[in-house]
Structure 1
Amino acid sequence: MSSRTGHIRENIVLYGALFANVAIAVAKFIAAGFTGSSSMVSEGVHSLVDSGNQILLLYGQARAKRAPDASHPFGYGRELYFWAFVVAILIFAVGAGVSIYEGWIHIAEPAPLRDPTANYIVLAVAACLEGTSWGIAVRAFNHERGAKSWWQSIRRSKDPAGFIVLFEDSAALIGLALAGVGVWASHRLGDPRIDGVASIAIGIILAAVAALLAREAKGLLIGESADPEIVGKIWRILDGHPAITAVNHVRTIHTAPDAVFVAVSADFADDLSMGDAETLIEEMETRMKAAVPELTSIYIRPEKREFAVHQSRPHDLDGG
C-alpha cells in the first residue's frame, strides 16, 4: 500500500467530511441565491467554514509529523493542537458571527418570501451527506473510545481531529434541522423574520460548539498528562522491581496524540552500584516501551524518597 493511500485511509474521517462539506456549501449558496433565505446563507457559511477546518486539520497533521530537530527535540506533534485551536476560533468568529449577523439583518429588513422548493431539496441532500460523514465519524470515535463514555472519551482524547469532526457534523445536522424549520415556518406563517431567527439559533449553536472545542484544544496545547491507565502501567513496572524501593512520582505529558514523554523519580536500593543502576534504567526503559508503545521519551532519575518528598511542593500529585 502506498504512503498516499495509507494517509487517506488513516484520515478517512477528515476526507469524508471535507468532500461532504464542499459539496453541501456549493448547493446551499445556490439555493440561498434563488430563495433569499438567511438560514440557508448561514448554513452555506457553516459548511464553508467546516471545509476550511478539515483542510487546516489535515495541514496540522502533516506539520505535526515532522521529525525532531535541534530547535524542537521532542518533535512537532503539538502543532496539531495549535491548528485545532485555530479551527475553534474560526467556527466562533466566522461561522457563528456570520450566522448571527445574517439572522439579525433578515429580522431587521425581511426579504420577500420566494418558492422554498430549492431549499428543501438542498437540505435533504445535505442531510444525507452530513449523515454519512457523521456516521463515519461516530464509528471511528466509538472504535477509539472503547468502554469509556462519550464525554469521558472526549475529555481524555489526545487527538482533536476525531472529536472536532464529530462535533462539527453533529452541529451541522442540528443546523440543517433548524434551517428546515425556519424555512417551513416562515412560509407557513407568512413571516420571513422567522427564517432570520433560525439563522441566529444556528449561530448560537456554532458558538457553543466553538467554545467547547476551544476549551479542549487549550488543554492539549498547554499540555495534558497521559491517561491514568498508561501511568498505572508505568508505575506497576517500576514498583514491581526488587531493586526499586519506592517510586516517588511518574509524570507524563503528550508531545503528540500518539507520543508521550515520561519523567520518573524512583528510590533505588542503597547497595546498587552505578553500573547496576545504569543497567536497571535501561531494563526499565525497555519494559516500559514494550508495555506502552506511545512512550517516545523516558527520563528516569534515581532519587531518595525523603529528598523527593522534600523537594516536591505540597500540591504536586504523583502520576501527572
Structure 2
Amino acid sequence: MLSKRPNQRNQTVKETMIKERSDEEDGQRDNTLKNTLFLTFWSRSLDKFLAWRSASAMMYGQPLVFDMRYDSHMSRRELENAVSQLMEVEGWNRRAAEPYHLHFCNLQHNGPYMQELLKRYGEETWNRLFITTTHRQHVEVFPREQLVYLTADSPNVLRKYDHNKVYIIGAMVDRSIQSGVSLAQAKRLKLNTARLPLDEYLYWDIGAKNLTLDQMIRIMLTIKNTGKWEEALKFVPKRKHDGFHQERTHYNSNNRGTPSPEWRNQGKTVQNVYRKNSGFIAREKKTGYVRGENASPGTKIRTLLKSTLEARKSAGSKEWWKDE
C-alpha cells in the first residue's frame, strides 16, 4: 500500500502540470482574440457555409449528371483514376459560388464504382455528401428533351450554354482512346449530343480532345457563371493547344512582317522561315557559306572570311598583305 503512494503523487503532479499548461494556452488564445479588431474565421464555419450552399443547390441548382456505366470499358487502374477525379469534381463543385446539383446515375450498389467510392470516402462521409446517387439511367430521371450528352466525338458544337438543359458527362478515364464510346451510348438512347468548342477557340496542337473529369467540372462551372468560353477554356491544359485564336490574331497584327506562328505546325521553325523570307539563304549560297544551327559565332566568322578569301583568290585578285 505504501509503495503506491509515490506513484500516485507523481501522477497527481503530472496532471496538475498538464492542466496549468492547458489553462495558460487557453489564456494566451483568449488574449490573442481579444487584442484584434478582426473576427476569427473558423474552418468549421466555412464547412457549414459550403454545406448549406450545396444543400441549396440540391433543391434549386441546375443538375449535372455523371454517367457511371463505363466500368466495363476501363481497367482497374483507370477506374481508380476516374474515382480520384470524381472526388475532385465534388470538391470543386462544393467550393463553387453557384454549385451544380450533382447526379451520379447508373451507379450500381455493389458495382466497382461504388466499392471504390466507399473505400476512398468511408461510408459515414459518403452518406453526408450532397450528391444524388441512383442506379437508374438519366433518361428515367429527367425528361429526354432536356438532356444533352457532352462527348468529344459529337458533330454538334456547344456554342451557347443553356441553363435549362441537363448536361451529361461520361465518368470514364480512357487511356487507350476508345473513340465513339460515349457517342454510341447517347445515340442508342436517342439523346442530343454536343462537344465543347475547342477548335473554335483554341489552336489545338497535339493529342485527343478528351479532358479529365476535374477539368470538365471547372469548365462547366465557369461557363455557367460567366457565359464566356474564353474564361472557361483556360482550364484546358496548355500543353494540348497553342493559344486562343484572338491571342494569335493580336500577335500577328502587332508584329507585321514577322512570320506567322502557324508555320510551326508545318514543321518549320520561326528562325528558318525568317532566313528564307529575308533572302539569307540565297546570299549564303552565293558566298559559299551556310551557317549551321549549332555553330558558334567565332566559327561562323572564320568560315565566312575563308570563303571570301577563296573567292577573291580564284578571281585573280591580290591579297593586301602581299601587295608591295
Report which structure shows greater RCO (CA 8 Å, sep ≥6): 1
Category of TM-score, reference length = shorter chain: under 0.3
So what's the TM-score if we normalise by structure 1?
0.22
So what's the TM-score if we normalise by structure 2?
0.22
